[in-house]
Structure 1
Amino acid sequence: MSTLIASRRYASALLSAAEEGNFLNQIVDELHVIKEVLEHSRDLVYALRSPLVKGDRKIHILEEIFKDSVGEKMFLFLRLVAHKKRAGLLPEIIDEFQILLDEKRGVINVDITSATALSDEQTAELVTKLAAFTGKEIRPRMAINEQFIGGVAVKIGDTIYDGSISHQLQMLRKSLVS
């Protein structure tokens, strides 16, 4: 089974259980804690992915690290994942969980790139217009690209709406050359 399929299955099962058990917010908070630890500890990720570290040892490692920051329900999930030899997929499971949760809540990530930093007012107006355009709640991820000269490019999923001046100049150049 591929990594993506397995990760999505575990994430989906966790999401379903959390919704049915009415402890979704707790699971979301605890997954943020786990994700942060995993992002800052490459050694932990290596240990979880290593076939040399046995499942019982992985469970012990996870319990020691997270004993004060996650609840019993999350420990049950972590034990299950380690017991099934999928502890190395925890980062991917967490990412898939967030994707599934966002889909369920109608939230999409949108990359917004501009030549200079947008003001809070400009950002809010753009997010409002994008929400109206997509019909979904927008989670903006802002970036600056000084090569844009001016304007904004927006990436929603696989679609890019490029309103940058540099892009417009490229299009003008192409039309003049043709």
Structure 2
Amino acid sequence: MSTAIVSRRYATALLDVAEEGGFIDTVTADLEVIGDTVAGSRDLLNMLKSPLLKGDLKARVFKEVFKGMLSEQTLRFIDLLCRKKRAALLAEVIEEYGALRDERNGIVNVDVHSAVELDDEQSKKLINELAAYTGKKVRANLSLDEQLLGGVTVKIGDTILDGSVKHQLEMLRDALRESA
């Protein structure tokens, strides 16, 4: 079974339990702490991925590292991952959990690349138009792309909306070639 499927199953189970128990915010904050800590520690990352270390040892290390920082529910989930020999998937499970939570809350993550810095009014207008387009709340990640001649490109999941000048010029070129 692929790691993406396994990660999604664990993330779904965690989100379901957190929703039923009413501690989604706690688990979300805990997973953010874990994700940041693991990303910043090569030793912890290597420990999670090591096939030589037993799950019980990984769970004990986790309890020691995060002592007093995480909720009991999150620690039990990490313990389960370790005992089921899925600790190496922790980063993927955290990512899937965030994506599932956003999906259930009707939030879509959008990457916007623009040729120039967008001011607040332009950003709000673009976000409102994207919300109308998707029918969901939009969490936009705005960035500057100096490769663009002008305009913006928007990535929503697997869909790319290309409003860049370069793309418009390519479409004009193709149209002129077809008519010639």
The reply to whether TM is greater than 0.5 is yes
Distance (Å, rounded) in 2 between the aligned partners of 1:117 and 1:42: 35
SS of residue matched to 2:68: coil
Distance (Å, rounded) in 2 between the aligned partners of 1:158 and 1:84: 32
- The alignment of Structure 1 onto Structure 2 pairs a total of residues equal to 178
2:135 alignment partner in structure 1: 135
Distance (Å, rounded) in 2 between the aligned partners of 1:76 and 1:158: 34
Task: Please list the CA deviations of residues 45-96 of structure 1 after superposition, one character each: whole Å capped at 9, or x if unmatched.
Answer: 2211111111121011111111131011111111111111111110011011
Distance (Å, rounded) in 2 between the aligned partners of 1:10 and 1:147: 39
Q: How does 1:90-129 map to 2 (within 5 A)?
A: 90-129=90-129
Q: Residue 169 of structure 1: CA displacement?
A: 1.3
Distance (Å, rounded) in 1 between the aligned partners of 2:77 and 2:29: 14
Distance (Å, rounded) in 1 between the aligned partners of 2:158 and 2:80: 35
1:42 alignment partner in structure 2: 42
Distance (Å, rounded) in 2 between the aligned partners of 1:23 and 1:40: 26
Task: Please list the CA deviations of residues 132-152 of structure 1 after superposition, one character each: whole Å capped at 9, or x if unmatched.
Answer: 111101011112222222111
Task: Please identify, of 19-28 and 152-161, the stretch whose mean Cα deviation from structure 2 is larger.
Answer: 152-161
1:164 alignment partner in structure 2: 164
CA root-mean-square deviation:
1.2
Distance (Å, rounded) in 2 between the aligned partners of 1:59 and 1:19: 24
Q: Residue 174 of structure 1: CA displacement?
A: 2.3
Distance (Å, rounded) in 2 between the aligned partners of 1:174 and 1:46: 50
Gaps of 5+ in 1: none
Asked if 1:146 is matched to 2:150, the reply is no
Give percent identity, aligned residues only: 51
2:60 alignment partner in structure 1: 60
With the length of structure 1 as denominator, give the TM-score of the two structures. Answer: 0.95
Task: Please list the CA deviations of residues 25-64 of structure 1 after superposition, one character each: whole Å capped at 9, or x if unmatched.
Answer: 1111111111111221232122111111111210111111
8 Å Cα contact 1:147/1:166 also seen in 2: no
With the length of structure 2 as denominator, give the TM-score of the two structures. Answer: 0.94
Gaps of 5+ in 2: none
Distance (Å, rounded) in 1 between the aligned partners of 2:107 and 2:157: 12
Distance (Å, rounded) in 2 between the aligned partners of 1:132 and 1:15: 27
Distance (Å, rounded) in 1 between the aligned partners of 2:170 and 2:147: 12
